[in-house]
Structure 1
């Protein structure tokens, strides 16, 4: 297995954000329970020597190109929410850091029913019933919200409510959760423009083509502080349907699923996930727009 090289520093912000276009949206808006595992038990046979990984004694993890806040630099650095999460899960399962290998994959590879080149993938993948027919999910490790980003010097910089944004040109990522959330929040009171990637929408926002962009709030915080510093997140949209939750992805009926879920559950119970969210995701104090 190969270790993924660090992302070149010259890579454009729009390209970085564009990589997230598929990963945070839901196919049908439904939240599914983690899929059942194969024969593994959550309380037994979870040591590295007993786990049916692709390579004995090694945990191979799939991810896309790194971008904040999920990955800071190369995934093997342990910097960024999902990189730190993977190493915490690996440690819970008994793996040393050097036993974790990274495999660069596309989002399509992650959610397809084909045999995977990884044991698990960490790629901001929403748990849905449709996807759970093709892959296994771990217990959820994050409940996501949709944030609204505006330009610091734009007409809507002081927006504090949904009503304040009526009449605005709102960008969303096509066929993703942001589209459903925006339509539910404003209906016909705004002009919604779909973009193929979040980075395209943020570029349109900074150029004045649109007035606001809706995307995953944690991604939006990173976009406004790292990649597009002349923008800000003014709030989140009301939830639409079931909460959108992210899970680690495994092969359908993987013998690893129960153990990986048990590890995520243990990290939730002992407060590790809360610590990682606080450290890497800076959205706790962003309030929902009324």
Structure 2
């Protein structure tokens, strides 16, 4: 049974703060992984050839699970990143039972400390600063910033950037949504930063703000699962280099090339596209103009 809205809303506040910390403003988003995937040989990219923390086991790190990335526990296989991990594991030759999950903080994922996992999957944006501390796989998702409005209210019928001129727009403080919102509207709106995406969504539902800007994939889940009195009207025009998410590995990990090769294969054979369509449900969200 799905949690009641108040309980889930509280969960979103803490989870979204982590998620949007993961999607912080890039210092220069990476083109791909820290180590090129063409350095992996087929013989090395097997459970027998990979030097994992536990022989024959792929240990995966993740923090608090929330939709659309994880539906239920990370091990469920439900949700975009949970399904992605099992698809990558299968490419590497690991059976489902050979995947072990461990709970970590976001700080553990991106810090230069030795990792308690082989690979982490938790909406982590690839940046040059982070690549100095950890390895990234090839990117598995290019993210966009979505605009969410309340179903009832003066901006409920907005379909363009101009329709929101003069509005109060919520963003997450010090995150990508702030810079992209400023680029989209300039001085034509009043931008209000929130410490967490859940705080902004609560303000939107109460009528304190007119719209909320956040990662569109999380926004779709927020408006359908956690705050069903809201809806996504579109995405903001991109600014600068696109934000891309990657799997995280220890700096200099011998697994990086093989994990990147697995992600590349899933992109090439259409599996990633299928997972995006099934779990993220943002393919048809238009770009606002």
TM-score normalised over the length of structure 2:
0.94
Q: Is the 8 A contact 1:37 1:254 kept in 2?
A: no
Show the counterpart of 2:90.
Answer: 91
The Cα offsets for residues 76-112 of structure 1, whole Å up to 9 and x where unpaired, read as 1100000000000000000001110111111111111
Show the counterpart of 1:114.
Answer: 113
Q: Is the 8 A contact 2:92 2:262 kept in 1?
A: yes
3-state SS, counterpart of residue 66 of structure 1: coil
CA shift for structure 1 position 58: 0.6
Structure 1, 38-47 or 97-106: larger mean CA deviation: 38-47
Q: Following the alignment from structure 1 to structure 2, what is the Cα–Cα distance between the partners of residues 15 and 30?
A: 25
Show the counterpart of 1:4.
Answer: none
Q: Following the alignment from structure 1 to structure 2, what is the Cα–Cα distance between the partners of residues 101 and 108?
A: 20
Please identify which structure carries the higher helix content: 2
Q: Following the alignment from structure 1 to structure 2, what is the Cα–Cα distance between the partners of residues 161 and 39?
A: 43
Q: Is the 8 A contact 1:72 1:79 kept in 2?
A: yes
Show the counterpart of 1:244.
Answer: 243
Structure 1, 75-84 or 100-109: larger mean CA deviation: 100-109
Give 4+ residue runs of structure 1 displaced > 4 Å after superposition. 7-11, 37-40
Q: Following the alignment from structure 1 to structure 2, what is the Cα–Cα distance between the partners of residues 101 and 19?
A: 22
Show the counterpart of 1:235.
Answer: 234
Q: Following the alignment from structure 1 to structure 2, what is the Cα–Cα distance between the partners of residues 199 and 145?
A: 18
Which sections of structure 2, spanning at least 5 residues, go unmatched?
Answer: none
Q: Following the alignment from structure 2 to structure 1, what is the Cα–Cα distance between the partners of residues 171 and 275?
A: 28
Q: Is the 8 A contact 1:146 1:216 kept in 2?
A: yes
Which sections of structure 1, spanning at least 5 residues, go unmatched?
Answer: 1-6
Structure 1, 122-131 or 20-29: larger mean CA deviation: 20-29
Evaluate the alpha carbon distance shift between residue 49 and residue 223 of structure 1 in structure 2; reply closer, same or farther with a 3 A threshold: same
The Cα offsets for residues 14-33 of structure 1, whole Å up to 9 and x where unpaired, read as 33433323112234253443
The Cα offsets for residues 205-247 of structure 1, whole Å up to 9 and x where unpaired, read as 1111111110000000000000000000001000010111110
Evaluate the alpha carbon distance shift between residue 47 and residue 194 of structure 1 in structure 2; reply closer, same or farther with a 3 A threshold: same
TM-score normalised over the length of structure 1:
0.93
Q: Following the alignment from structure 2 to structure 1, what is the Cα–Cα distance between the partners of residues 196 and 101?
A: 25
Show the counterpart of 1:210.
Answer: 209
How do 1:15-54 and structure 2 match up within 5 A? 15-36=14-35, 41-54=40-53
Q: Following the alignment from structure 1 to structure 2, what is the Cα–Cα distance between the partners of residues 223 and 88?
A: 25
Q: Is the 8 A contact 1:24 1:125 kept in 2?
A: yes
Show the counterpart of 2:175.
Answer: 176
Q: Following the alignment from structure 2 to structure 1, what is the Cα–Cα distance between the partners of residues 13 and 36?
A: 37
Evaluate the alpha carbon distance shift between residue 40 and residue 103 of structure 1 in structure 2; reply closer, same or farther with a 3 A threshold: farther
Evaluate the alpha carbon distance shift between residue 42 and residue 205 of structure 1 in structure 2; reply closer, same or farther with a 3 A threshold: farther
> Considering only aligned residues, what root-mean-square deviation do their CA atoms show, in Å?
1.8
